[in-house]
Structure 1
Amino acid sequence: MMRVLSTFSGISAASAAWKPLGFKFVGYCEPSAFPCHVLNKRVEATAPKYLPRGSDFNPRKYRTIVDGSVINFGDITQISDDDLRALGQVDVLEGGSPCQAFSISGLRRGLNDNRGNLALAFARLALRMREINGLRFIVWENVKGVLSDETNGFGCLLAALAGGEDPLVAPGKSWPNSGHVLAGATDDVDDVTVAWRVLDSQRFGLAQRRERVFLVASFDPALDAGSVLFEYDGQTWNPEAGDQTQKEDPGNRETGASGTRPTALIRGDSQASLSLDPDVAFCLTAHEAKEPTTVIHPKTVGTLCASGAGLARPAGQANELDFVVVHPRIVGTLQALKPKGSSGSDLDFTIVHTADGGGEYVCRRLMPIECERLQGFEEGWTDVPMGNKPATDGNRYKALGNSMSVPVMNYIGYRLLRAVTRVAEEERIAA
């Protein structure tokens, strides 16, 4: 059984993805009020033990969370060594530190932003857990913009995890979409491997373009992190996604240089093949009305953002994709499509009549239940009240936009579990 500490947990896509695989979550770290209520309802997490300073974290927002069987530490920067010792063995540290510092919406201030520095706090926690909890693996996620951050936050993170004294430097103007770092063993540090890769949610059966950097680090000298993220057998992407088969050369397993300075083996191709579950299929069809409505355009939406309005943006484009066009099967049920608490203005939905008299269409915003499907969650995962107040659409949109995609995390968890099982079997045979 793989024991996991989740950090920057949000609404915990990791739990939704990994619990069916048999992973056990021994703790969470999430300080924001609404995600804390979701964690309490869905994974039995406690109210946060530690809260950051600021009005956003007023203790009164958490007073209705009175039970829970799994600790939520809240602020990761306040976790003590005693807290870690109480967890016992922890195999995996998982988390996606705040991405705003590396995104356009956050002005890309990188390590000049306190939120950007939380990535390094994550690395420091990992090194402490390696000593206290016997930590073996790390899974970290962030926006693609971290690879071109001018403050080189990604190079600092790589060096911290690999035991380097100086930040690693990208081979060009930015880090490539995939790469592999090997740190040779010294008297103080065992072999460390770090791999990263940009993965797009639409390649995992979701109708959302969402490119994110996923990093896996291994403190286990018997298991190379690259074996989790990279596939070398030439299997294809989902053919319906439109990508051509590409193979990736596994390269040579070179040892690191002397001392703690790691050697980076960079792979510039992140389009290597994936093994996909053909049964995974999520769509935008809405069922809030008496009869379902079918999305006409677009078939694949842009990246869900952490916006209170639930906006989506096409990846790499400046224009916003705020609406979808649907064809209602029963025109009289349009009122049921309105988001909760909406004002009734024409911004909620617009009826469009085709010029040829072919029918009526509705232009409207994505609904929270659709955003849940677009991230691969069960329907209603975020429909959780805060005290005696029902969940607002704004809170649900923001939490879902901040989350990871469940099928992508499921893929990484499955690959990690398979690699661990393979190494254990090899060691058993060798013994």
Structure 2
Amino acid sequence: MQYKMIDLFAGIGGIRIAFEENGAKCVRSSEIDKYACETYEINFNEKPLGDITKISPEELPKFDILTAGFPCQPFSLAGLRKGFEDARGTLFFDVARLIKAREPIAFFLENVEGIVNHDGGKTINVIENVLSELGYNFQWRIMNASDYGVPQNRKRWYCVGFRKDLRIGFEGQNGNFRAIYNFPKKCDLKFKVKDILDINVSDSYLVSKTCERNINIYIDKYKLSPRYDSTNVLIANEIRPSRCNFRSDGISPCLTAKMGTGGNNIPVYVEKMRKLTERECLRLMGFPEWYQIKPNTMHSYKQIGNSVVVTIVSMLAKEMIRVLKLVDSEV
């Protein structure tokens, strides 16, 4: 059986790639950012639906799995109902209302790690209460890409859920389950930053003289510190006159949407005094080589920083498909 999924808050389609790699088929997507939509259409020959708040459940085709990398927002808790209505006024509410209306067999959610402590823990409490009220068994994990084979220091919140009537449990849960979902185990790096670097790169990626000067202010001190490893490439980021961060452990700093606000927020390959290219950043996010994105634009860097690590999502999706097929085979 081929499971059908919808790709909400789709960005540039990282979650879609991960699920389709594991045999699912995306039947509809939604994204509001104009430039992300352009990139999505280039790669998938499909224009996402726009504003999720204007999408009615009836206009979506039949689907089995809902996926969403929704933004982290505070909930208004004036009513203290501790249920579905507490989510109203946020974009998570739109995820919840579509789940409520269409009752997919499973969902996959992604967010920043800060969602766990956001608003003093109230945000995660509302999300958990709503998902439980909607009739789903779920668990979430904070996972760092560098612990799962990808050389990027990127911690994210991943939540997997199944409709309770399927009786799919999670490792460590007690109950009469038909299948158990296992989150992936940590593993060694499959490659390092040096392995994703291109040799011939346009001079348009060279940093400014000001950026180079700011790097040089701090580089000698770093090279004298025990953190410096000359066997790996040296990467600089957060480059300012007042500070500069370095890494030489083979792992990239977190690629963030701030890369879209200017060159000093894009990691720099110090030996060549150039920014990492979009292609190199995509590799650090686990995107396949066929993926296309406009070169040397701030919008492209922002889109990459806002995306997901495809490698990790693929691990999670693979296990979701495995347990769903196991349960289906018993019917």
TM-score by length of 2: 0.72
1:212 and 1:278 map into 2 onto residues whose CA distance is 17
State yes or no: 1:13 paired with 2:17. Answer: no
1:79 and 1:415 map into 2 onto residues whose CA distance is 29
Contact 1:98 1:116 in 2 (8 A): no
Q: 1:368: how far off?
A: 1.3
In the superposition, relative to structure 1, how do residues 392 and 33 fare at CA in structure 2: closer, same or farther (>3 Å)? farther
| Unaligned segments of structure 1, at least 5 residues | 47-71, 102-109, 165-190, 231-249, 256-269, 313-319, 327-361, 385-390
Partner of 2:70: 97
Contact 2:169 2:175 in 1 (8 A): no
Contact 1:285 1:295 in 2 (8 A): no
Partner of 1:242: none
1:21 and 1:374 map into 2 onto residues whose CA distance is 20
- What SS does the corresponding residue of 1:45 show, helix, strand or coil? coil
Map 1:37-186; keep pairs closer than 5 Å.
Answer: 37-46=38-47, 72-84=48-60, 87-88=61-62, 90-99=63-72, 101=73, 110-111=74-75, 117-130=90-103, 135-150=104-119, 152-163=122-133
Deviations, residues 393-414 of structure 1 (Å, cap 9, x unaligned): 2011100000010001100110
Partner of 1:306: 257
Q: 1:208: how far off?
A: 0.3
Work out the number of aligned pairs and report it: 271
Map 1:4-403; keep pairs closer than 5 Å.
Answer: 4-46=5-47, 72-84=48-60, 87-88=61-62, 90-99=63-72, 101=73, 110-111=74-75, 117-130=90-103, 135-150=104-119, 152-163=122-133, 192-224=136-168, 226=170, 230=171, 250-253=172-175, 274=185, 283-289=195-201, 295-297=233-235, 298=248, 299-307=250-258, 308-309=260-261, 322-326=267-271, 362-379=272-289, 381-384=291-294, 391-403=295-307
Q: 1:222: how far off?
A: 2.5
2:198 alignment partner AA: A
Contact 2:30 2:52 in 1 (8 A): yes
In the superposition, relative to structure 1, how do residues 377 and 119 fare at CA in structure 2: closer, same or farther (>3 Å)? same
Partner of 2:217: none
Q: 1:144: how far off?
A: 0.9
2:196 alignment partner AA: L
1:221 alignment partner AA: D
Deviations, residues 157-199 of structure 1 (Å, cap 9, x unaligned): 11111117xxxxxxxxxxxxxxxxxxxxxxxxxx530111111
Compare relative contact order (CA 8 Å, sep 6+) and give the higher one, 1 or 2: 2
1:116 and 1:287 map into 2 onto residues whose CA distance is 48
- What SS does the corresponding residue of 1:73 show, helix, strand or coil? coil
2:168 and 2:252 map into 1 onto residues whose CA distance is 35
- What SS does the corresponding residue of 2:27 show, helix, strand or coil? strand
Q: 1:322: how far off?
A: 4.2
In the superposition, relative to structure 1, how do residues 311 and 371 fare at CA in structure 2: closer, same or farther (>3 Å)? farther
Structure with more of its chain in helix, by fraction: 2
Q: 1:284: how far off?
A: 3.4
2:144 and 2:298 map into 1 onto residues whose CA distance is 25
Map 1:413-424; keep pairs closer than 5 Å.
Answer: 413-424=317-328
Determine which structure has more spread, i.e. the larger CA radius of gyration.
1
| Unaligned segments of structure 2, at least 5 residues | 77-86, 203-231, 236-247
1:280 and 1:8 map into 2 onto residues whose CA distance is 29
In the superposition, relative to structure 1, how do residues 207 and 81 fare at CA in structure 2: closer, same or farther (>3 Å)? closer
Q: 1:277: how far off?
A: 10
Contact 2:136 2:162 in 1 (8 A): yes
1:281 and 1:415 map into 2 onto residues whose CA distance is 26
Partner of 2:221: none
2:160 and 2:21 map into 1 onto residues whose CA distance is 20
Partner of 1:358: none
Contact 1:193 1:218 in 2 (8 A): yes
1:374 alignment partner AA: L
Q: 1:372: how far off?
A: 0.6
Q: 1:136: how far off?
A: 0.6
1:16 alignment partner AA: I
1:286 and 1:111 map into 2 onto residues whose CA distance is 44
Deviations, residues 312-336 of structure 1 (Å, cap 9, x unaligned): 9xxxxxxx8843323xxxxxxxxxx
